[in-house]
Amino acid sequence: MLLAAFALGGGSRPDIESLIILRPLAALALGYAIWGMTAEPLRAHRFLLIMAAAMIGLVAIHLIPMPPLLWTGLPGRGLVVAIDAAAGLHGLWRPISLVPSGTWNALFAMLPPVACLLLMIRLNRREQEATLMLLILLGMASALLGLAQISGGPASPLYFYAFASKGVDGLFANRNHHAAFLATMFPMLAAYASASRRDRLDARLRAGLALAIGLFLVPLILVAGSRAGIMALAVGLLSIPFLYRLPAPASGRRLPRRLLWGGVVVAMIAIVLVTVVMGRALAFDRLVRGAETEEVRFKAWGPILRMAAEYFPIGSGIGSFREIYRVHEPRALLDLTAFGHAHNDPLELLVTGGLPAVLLLVAAIAAYGVASRRWWRARKAIRVDADLAGAGLWSLLILGLASVGDYPLRTPALACLFCVSVVWMVPLGPAVSRIK
């Protein structure tokens, strides 16, 4: 499922041709996951399943037709009511969503991540560790593809999406999403390097491989020209000293942790300086220019917040943002480009999902805080679940922060990565997860 999601689901638009293949595959995978499910993983992941069911239920509720008396009383429906009156339309039953087609798309878009979630909870901790290596390999594949893309120029046939940003896009249609994905590689690499701390030889081999991959990825994130990618990279690098533990030397004396912090800082400063001198770090130019003039998407947050107030507390309907924004778009922000998303997922959820969506988001953040506290207490344990939980927590942090200024989780690929990271955070107990 992960391979299919990354091969076919690197874009967020609903009209991507590859979705014709990906979503039926996800439906089959979902059926397979449900067919072979046992009671034990359901109990162990009860909260995740409740949250998934609540999100699916919220989208489905937005599609249920309502009687006219109730529907016309919902906030923000005045324009449609006026149009109906002018057209002589009376007694129509309508769903909560003002754009039902967009809400249906949102419902079908949940197939890949939900299938990935159910397949993941069926795996034991050893098998889940294999998904860590698979994601690292996918990260390398995306990075190498991005390198080949910029080598071939904007006309390169290696861009898989017609609306690609024509930069270092990798397996994605958007360089910001590609950069965010590569940034999640750093906590994964740190967890991979720490997975065999008792075997000093294996630990050194893993650490060397992780270091080589990390040094390769940093310049590729910088040359992507993504400001969000640079910020995600900073968080990814920050995770390394928290996740990676140096293997104990033969004498039994462990090197001070401050050496690891110092090494990370020095290495990253050196790489950034070299990349800037080479003139390929376009993101730094964008950072400087961004200080002089605000981008349109940031200017739009004010009007979008006013939209949210108009449709609160029910929302305009999950998946309806694109069409709803056109109704409210300020004249000063009009241009020839389409504004498909708010470039701030919490804000877009407030507009389209209203109070119920916000409550689900708050519950998810609270659960993340509880899981973070649990990992902090167990992080020094020589256990696969401690390593995977740390990788999952930091990957979720990167994706969450990226979602404040963009919409990475609206791509099937990163939505599946989100679900994998969430499952990594759930410990299965010492009997399953302790390295023997």
Among 257-261, 329-333, 432-436, the minimum mean pLDDT is found in 432-436
For 278-297, what is each residue's pLDDT tens digit?
445 555 565 555 444 446 67
Bridge partners of residue 205, in order along the sequence: none
CB neighbourhood size of 392 (10 A): 28
Look at residue 225 in the predicted model and tell me its pLDDT.
Answer: 74
Cβ–Cβ < 8 Å for 220, 168 = yes
**In which residue are the tokens 């690891």 written?**
260
Read off the tokens for 334.
């009009």
pLDDT bin (cut points 50, 70, 90) of residue 61 is very high
Q: Cα separation of 304 and 327, whole Å? A: 11
3-state class (DSSP) for residue 95: strand
Residue 143 has pLDDT above 70, yes or no: yes
**Phi-psi region at 54: left, alpha or beta (left = phi > 0; alpha = psi -120 to 50):** alpha
Does the global pTM surpass 0.85? yes
Give 208 or 276, the one with higher predicted confidence: 208
Go through the chain and tell me how many residues it has: 436
Question: Does residue 163 carry a pLDDT above 90?
Answer: no
Structure tokens at 419: 């679900």
- Specify the pLDDT at position 291: 44
Model confidence at 435, pLDDT cuts 50, 70, 90, reads very low
Res. 277: pLDDT tops 90? no
Closest CA to 15 of 145, 112, 105, 116: 105
Contact 307, 349 (CB under 8 A): no
**Band (267; pLDDT cuts 50, 70, 90):** low
Amino acid found at 242? F
pLDDT at 350: 95
Rounded mean pLDDT, 161-170: 81
Q: What is the pLDDT of residue 140?
A: 95
> What's at 41, amino acid-wise?
P
The winner for highest mean pLDDT among 62-66, 120-124, 190-194 is: 62-66
pLDDT tens digits for range 77-98: 989 989 988 888 888 899 999 9
Backbone angles phi, psi at 221, to 5 degrees: -70, -40
CA distances from 319 to 13, 104, 211, 271 (A): 11, 8, 41, 41
Q: Tell me if 119 sits within 8 A of 108, measured CB to CB.
A: no
The whole-angstrom distance between residue 392's C-alpha and the CA centroid of its chain comes to: 12
Contact 429, 378 (CB under 8 A): no
Going from N- to C-terminal start, the domains of the chain cover 2-62+102-248+257-293+341-433, 65-96
The CA distance from 242 to 27, in Å, is 38
Which two tokens mark 33?
């996951």
Choose between 269 and 216: higher pLDDT.
Answer: 216
pLDDT of residue 340: 78
Query: Mean pLDDT throughout 389-401?
Result: 94
Which is more confident, 297 or 138?
138
Q: What b/e sequence results for 181-200 when a residue is b if at least 16 CB atoms lie within 10 Å of its CB, and e otherwise?
A: bbbbbbbbbbbbbbbbbeee
The tens digit of pLDDT for each residue in 174-220 reads 889 999 999 999 999 999 888 655 556 577 788 888 888 998 998 88
Task: Give CA torsion, residues 292, 296, 298, 299, to 10 deg.
Answer: 90
Max avg pLDDT among 278-287, 332-341, 422-431:
332-341
Going by C-alpha positions, the residue among 8, 27, 26 that lies closest to residue 18 is 8
